[in-house]
Amino acid sequence: MQIQSPIYPPLENGDSRSETLRDRLSYREFEQRYAAMTTDQKAELIEGVVYMASPRRFTTHAEPHGRLITWLGVYQAATPSTAMGIEPTVRLDSDNEFQPDGVLLIPGGSSQLTSEGYIQGAPELVVEIAASSAAIDLGDKKRVYRRNGVQEYLVWQIFDQKLDWFYLEEGVYQSLSPNDQGILCSRVFPGLWLNATQLLQNNLAAVLETLQGGLASPEHQAFIQPD
């Protein structure tokens, strides 16, 4: 007798039920249905509900995304104890599987790689470009990241020309305030400095100049060369 492989229905935006029609969609069924799709489209599972990404415009997503990833990549290159990724699959819990725009993590820290190569658990830092997705990124996603212990969460709201950097303190997200020089400094990654004003003005050179100051700081040197 020939055993037929199961046929999985394609994912649709707003799907929220498993095949049993009793439970919310789990990340296991989400992955099976995602893998069976013939089109290459980004999909995320947020609180058991499927969200399909809209087409990505250059000026409101791809370009700012590139600037943030360049900033993170320069930091990671100077900080061997970290790892950086673009749009990885992150399994946070049974109801939530995201593909954030970028992550910076400490290998062996609060997350690990599965045998399939996915991230299981909470990366230390997550970044998102929020254009049409702003309500989700600052709503359900933010709550899920907080609940699962993501230590820092950076959201660039493109249309509002605003950047929010949150850090987790006693289970609550607080807004990171700039220092006396107007620079945002990570509390988890020493030397990860961001000139948000210059980033919002699309001045990547100035952003990287500020970052170089962070990489030269005593705090960063102590981080990469511990006693």
Q: Does residue 28 belong to any structural domain of this protein?
A: yes
> Higher confidence at residue 68 or residue 140?
68
Tally of residues, the chain: 227
Q: Which residue has the tokens 């790689």?
A: 113
Q: Are residues 115 and 12 located together in one domain of the fold?
A: no
Q: Are residues 99 and 15 located together in one domain of the fold?
A: no
> Higher confidence at residue 28 or residue 144?
144
Q: Does residue 3 belong to any structural domain of this protein?
A: no
Q: Does residue 2 belong to any structural domain of this protein?
A: no
Report the chain's mean pLDDT, rounded to a whole number.
85
pLDDT tops 50 at residue 164:
yes
How far are the Cα atoms of 75, 94, 207, 218 from residue 213, in angstroms, in the given order? 11, 41, 10, 10
Rounded Cα–Cα distance for residues 151 and 156 (Å): 17
**Three-state DSSP class for residue 111:** strand
Could you say which DSSP state residue 4 is in? P
Q: Are residues 87 and 127 located together in one domain of the fold?
A: yes
pLDDT tops 70 at residue 129:
yes
Q: Are residues 73 and 43 located together in one domain of the fold?
A: no
Q: Are residues 47 and 62 located together in one domain of the fold?
A: no
Amino acid identity, residue 60?
T
| Overall number of domains in the chain | 2
pTM: 0.81
Other C-beta atoms lying within 10 Å of the C-beta of residue 123: 29
What's the pLDDT at 42? 74
Helix (H) or strand (E) holding 96: strand 96-98
Output phi, psi for 190, to 5 deg.
-55, 135
Rounded Cα–Cα distance for residues 92 and 77 (Å): 26
**Three-state DSSP class for residue 93:** strand
Q: Residue 158's domain spans which residues? A: 58-224
Q: Are residues 140 and 36 located together in one domain of the fold?
A: no
What's the pLDDT at 1? 42
Average pLDDT over residues 163-181: 96
Q: Are residues 33 and 139 located together in one domain of the fold?
A: no
Q: Are residues 209 and 153 located together in one domain of the fold?
A: yes
